Amino acid sequence: MPRPRSWRPDLATSCLVLMVLLIVIGGLIFWRPFLTRSSQQVTEVPAPPALFVLAEFPVAPNQQACENSVTVTSDTRFATFQLRPAKPSREGGPPVGFVLSGQGYRATAVVPGGYPGGSVTLRITPPRHTLIGTACFVNLGTKPVLLDGTTEGRTIARPALEIAGRPVTGDVALSFQGLRSESLPEELGVLFDHASNLTDGLVPVWLIWLIAPLVAFGVPIALILAYYSAMLEDFGDAR
Amino acid sequence: MPLPLALILVLAALLSVAWDLAVPAFQGPDEDAHFGYVQHLAETGRPPSPSSGNSSYSTQEATLLKDLNLLSLRGDLGGRPAWSAADLALWHQAEHQLPPGSSSNGDGPNATGQNPPLYYALMAIPYRVFAWLPLLKLLFVLRLFDALCFLATVSLTWLIAGEVFGRVRWKQTLAAGAVALLPQLAFMSVVINSDGLLTALTTAVLWMALRMAIRGPTLGRVLAASGFTAAAVLTHGRGLVTVPVLGIAILVAWIHHRPALRDVAVQAGGAAATVGVAFVAYLLFAASGGSGGLYGGEVTTINTSRGFNLGQFLSSVYQFYFPKLPSLTPRIGPDYGYRQVFINTFYATFGQLEVTFRQGVYDILQVASALGLVAFYTACVARWRALRRSWPAVAVMLALLLTLLVALHYISYRELLANGGVDPVIVGRYLLPMVSLFGLAIAFTVGSLPRRVGPFVGAAVLSAGLLLALGGVGITAARFYA
């Protein structure tokens, strides 16, 4: 009576199992921090900060700096920019009003005086629908204030800047954020929406929802099968 | 087509589509300028001038760059594209109001205008076919055509591995898979940039050169290798490195296979004529376009700039790889060397160099690369006799490796002299023309291990490559869209 042989995987199957394990375990170690880390959702960046050389735009008392063509999305809750007193003093910087306006929309917020300078984030009321409007920084104090931005040709964005009604080359750096701090998987819908818009709708959002899992699972499966089939061809059922 | 190759090509195609989506328009290295060349050539039949003209971009491209904040986005991690439907509507409005001729007035100055025209002429074909599409859609489609070069490079690596290792599928899969999964190559596959075609053509030169050296120099093989070399020369200045590779490959093939003198004469004439015709054609094209001679005069400028010192050059190369010895004067230029070129920007640096993994990932890659090099050296020593028997193939591969490395170091040194030590110019993607050697080295090293170990190490290498490849797409998409 033949003795029952214990099953031992062949070389190809062993490699297949190893790859699956390495990809799953490696993925958990390598990607997990990236996938689970939460970060404040950016809803729009009308004008990015300078890349190399910071530009400071002075705004005199009772004057304002305005940027047009600023997109404010309906999920925007905060606005962030940088400012500092023109001359460092114990009293700090003057109060600055921040006004967002567009067709049928106006939102205001104030940076109270007395700050030493740096980044400020103001809570704002969003429009009902995403719109393209104007952002104004109004010096409400009695001393000049400096708004940080850029005059670098490569970082000047779409908005046009006016200070005290006069056109100025450059942009005051401004960004908008959403309400929640979200991890990447939570933000996928928004991310795909942005990606689709940047293809001008050639790749609609629903198609990206199909492509993403196809890539995430199809690429590993194709790789594992390629190696497995190659091993089978070379080694057959060798152990 | 063998099943493993078909599956790797599917994988590569999926990665290209993912990269096309992950990278917004004009966010690849110099993509705005390369697209400007394609557009101007397709619209007017002439290349843009590298040094003069009225506008670097066409009005259409400049408007898109401005309206969707794509110019300010480049390299600035604080920037995001204008990504909302309202932004897109604004761009549509602007695009419809552009006056006639808005896509054909980017006559220069455009730095890529000094490049030879082959890549741009090839890309002008899909541009003309799809010119009716709005610009953003057109760019997405053109990038898919660009990705064909990536698929060609992967396929050619498979063929080269077949020439070198014989019909050993797992080694071919390992070599081609390692190339397909290299994040930098997959990223560059969708960037409008002549680097992709140059990589494919250099890989094709290596393939045909190896066939010549291994199987013998038939006229067909010599002409094919010369044709690929001519195409590489017509694609980019860095394509010139294929000329000595071709020469060495023919010489090696003659020495090894000893063809009749008459055949030697015919083959030499055929090779010289093929490459010579390419140079003459390019010279005529450059003269008609006013781009300032071959490669915009850059080759002449590099070689005639003052201050070349052989000792300083050799010291500079040494300090690129190793810490400075007390007796050496410091290398000119910034603190820039092996790590930045062979690790950071060869494996995975995306966008305009601003999208990177955590530094720890590069530390691991550097250690893994060093271990790989030691293992490769050990395998070479252990299989020395086999390598000696295969000396024609080894000589051809070494020719490509050394020619490209020496050329890059020379260009970097000359550029540092010329720009006052500000910019070393070379980055890891300039190594991609020899990416097939990277795949072959992995397959050779892993294939030299005992059979109980080698296939498992190969599985581990491919798995690690996969994690990097998908991770690269992920961090890039998050940088631009989150």
Per residue in B220-233, pLDDT tens? 999 999 999 999 99
Determine, yes or no, domain membership for B206: yes
Which chain A residues are Cβ-neighbours of B82 within 8 angstroms?
Answer: 44, 46, 71, 158
> Looking at the partner chain, which of A46, A173, A219 has a beta carbon nearest the beta carbon of B470?
A219
Percent of chain B past pLDDT 90, that is, above it, reads 85
pLDDT per position as a tens digit, B458-482: 999 999 999 999 999 999 999 999 9
CA distance B68 to B423: 30
Domain around B182: 3-26+148-481
Q: Are strands A131-139 and A96-102 parallel, antiparallel or unpaired?
A: antiparallel
Determine, yes or no, domain membership for B209: yes
pTM: 0.93
Three-state secondary-structure class, residue A14: helix
How large is the average pLDDT for residues B71-82? 93
Which chain A residues are Cβ-neighbours of B458 within 8 angstroms?
Answer: 15, 227
C-alpha distances (whole Å) from A86 to each of A56, A164, B140 are: 9, 16, 46
Q: What is the pLDDT of residue A39?
A: 80
DSSP state of A185: G
E strand spans, B300-398: 349-350, 355-356
> Looking at the partner chain, which of B18, B68, B467 has a beta carbon nearest the beta carbon of A30?
B467
A42 is written with which tokens? Answer: 């950016």
Determine, yes or no, domain membership for B464: yes
As a whole number, the mean pLDDT across chain B is: 94
Three-state secondary-structure class, residue B193: coil
pLDDT-derived band at B204 (thresholds 50, 70, 90) equals very high
DSSP H helices, A37-126, are: none
A217 is written with which tokens? Answer: 């699972």
ipTM of the complex: 0.92
CA distance B420 to B305: 12
pLDDT per position as a tens digit, B423-439: 888 999 999 999 999 99
Which chain B residues are Cβ-neighbours of A39 within 8 angstroms?
Answer: 482
CA distance B244 to B263: 21
> Looking at the partner chain, which of A48, A195, A234 has a beta carbon nearest the beta carbon of B170?
A234
How large is the average pLDDT for residues B89-117? 94
- Are residues B21 and A203, on separate chains, in Cβ contact within 8 Å? yes
Instruction: Report long-range pairs for B121-127 (Cβ below 8 Å, ≥24 apart).
Output: B121/B41, B122/B197, B123/B38, B123/B42, B123/B192, B124/B38, B124/B41, B124/B42, B127/B38, B127/B39, B127/B42
Lowest mean pLDDT among A9-23, A58-72, B281-295, B374-388: B281-295
Which chain A residues are Cβ-neighbours of B179 within 8 angstroms?
Answer: none
CA distance B182 to A51: 29
How large is the average pLDDT for residues B264-279? 95
Domain definitions of chain A by residue range = 41-181, 183-239
Structural domains counted in chain B: 1
Phi first, then psi: give them for residue A181, nearest 5 degrees: -90, 120
Which chain A residues are Cβ-neighbours of B463 within 8 angstroms?
Answer: 18-19, 22-23, 26
DSSP state of A66: E
CA distance A170 to A176: 19
Q: What is the pLDDT of residue B83?
A: 96
Lowest mean pLDDT among A84-93, B142-151, B204-213, B395-404: A84-93
Q: What would the CATH number be for the domain defined by A41-181?
A: 2.60.120
Examine the pLDDT at B276 and tell me if it is beyond 60.
Answer: yes
Determine, yes or no, domain membership for B401: yes
Determine, yes or no, domain membership for B459: yes
C-alpha distances (whole Å) from B318 to each of B328, B331, B416 are: 10, 9, 16
Determine, yes or no, domain membership for B44: no
* Lookup result for tokens 């003093």: A89
Q: In the beta sheet, which residues pair with residue A102?
A: A105
Q: What is the pLDDT of residue B290?
A: 58
Examine the pLDDT at B453 and tell me if it is beyond 90.
Answer: yes
Examine the pLDDT at B269 and tell me if it is beyond 70.
Answer: yes
Q: What is the pLDDT of residue B300?
A: 65
Examine the pLDDT at B306 and tell me if it is beyond 80.
Answer: no
**Surface-to-core class of residue B360, CB atoms within 10 Å of its CB (0-12 exposed, 13-18 middle, 19+ buried):** exposed
Examine the pLDDT at B291 and tell me if it is beyond 60.
Answer: no
Closest-CA residue of chain B to A219: B11
Nearest CA of chain B to the CA of A110: how many Å? Answer: 24
**Mean pLDDT, each 10-residue run in order, chain A (239 residues):** 65 94 94 82 94 94 96 96 93 96 96 95 96 97 96 88 95 92 82 96 97 96 97 81
Nearest CA of chain B to the CA of A87: how many Å? Answer: 27
Q: What is the pLDDT of residue A106?
A: 97
- Are residues A216 and B462, on separate chains, in Cβ contact within 8 Å? no
CA distance B399 to B406: 10
Of the candidates B19, B416, B418, the one whose C-alpha atom is nearest the C-alpha of residue B193 is B19
pLDDT-derived band at B145 (thresholds 50, 70, 90) equals very high
C-alpha distances (whole Å) from B99 to each of A29, B38, B102, B328 are: 54, 20, 6, 60
Please state the separation of Cα B353 from the chain's center in Å: 15
Neighbours of A106 (CB within 10 A): 11
- Are residues A51 and B466, on separate chains, in Cβ contact within 8 Å? no
DSSP state of A153: G
Of the candidates A169, A166, A145, the one whose C-alpha atom is nearest the C-alpha of residue A155 is A169
CA distance B115 to B103: 21
| DSSP letter for each residue of A19-54 | HHHHHHHHHHHHHHHHHH-EEEEEEEEEEPPPSSS-
Q: What is the pLDDT of residue B190?
A: 97
Q: What is the pLDDT of residue A235?
A: 87
